[in-house]
Structure 1
Amino acid sequence: MTSSERSGLPLPDFDQLPVGTLEHRIRSLGADDVDRLLRYEHEHADRANVVQILESRKRRLDEGATPSGGDPRGFRPEQPGPARGGSHVSPATSPEPSSPPPHGTPDQRGKPKGDRTI
C-alpha cells in the first residue's frame, strides 16, 4: 500500500487503529468519509468486524444521525504503555527458607494397614 493511499483516508493510520477505538473515532466523520473507509477496508484487509462497524455507522448517518464535533485526524493511534519490568521481590519480602517435610526414611519400613482381603 502506498503512502498516497493512506494519506487520502480521513483517519490517519487507519490500518493500525485498534478495532475497539474505531467506533469512537468515526463518530465525527460524514457519510462520504465513512464510505471511503469502507471501500478501502474492502480493498485491503476486509476485516469483518471493521466492516460491520463502518456499515452500522453509515446506516445511522443515512437515517439522519449527525457527525459529532472533533477532528479524528488530531488523534494518534494508541501506543502500549511502557513495560513494567523488574520484580518486587527482595530479600526483605522473601519467606524464610524451609525444608520439605520428610516422607519416610530407609530405616522405617511401611506398616501393613490391617487385614486387606479382597
Structure 2
Amino acid sequence: MGKLTTHILNLTCGKPAANVKIELKRLGEEAILVKEASTNADGRVDAPLLAGEELVSGEYVMEFHAGDYFASQKMNTADQPFLTIVTVRFQLTDPDAHYHIPLLLSPFGYQVYRGS
C-alpha cells in the first residue's frame, strides 16, 4: 500500500519544525486542494498525507508555510520573512510506493529530497 509522508527539520536550531501548515494540491487543469495538515512536535504530520487508494499517480505540489512558522518562532531577522511559502512540485508514478519528502529549512534557504 503506497503512501506520501513528510517531515520538516529547522536547521537553525537543529530541531523538528512543529506547527507548520502544509497544503497538498493535485495538479491538472487547475490545482485542487487534496489535504491540509500541520506538523506535530516531531515535525511530522500525524498520518500520511496520502495513503492507499488516495495515492493516485499524477503531479502534485506541496506548500510549506515557512514564513508563518518562522514568525511564530520569532526567527525572522527583518520585518518581512524572506521565505513565505516553500513550494515543492513532484510526480507520483507508483501508487504502491512510499514517497517521503523531507524539508530541511532555515529562514533564508531550504533543501528538499526524496527520502525513504
> Normalising to structure 1: TM-score of the pair?
0.24
Higher RCO, 1 vs 2 (CA within 8 Å, ≥6 residues apart): 2
More strand by share: 2
Looking at CA atoms only, which structure, 1 or 2, has the larger radius of gyration?
Answer: 1
More helix by share: 1
> Normalising to structure 2: TM-score of the pair?
0.24
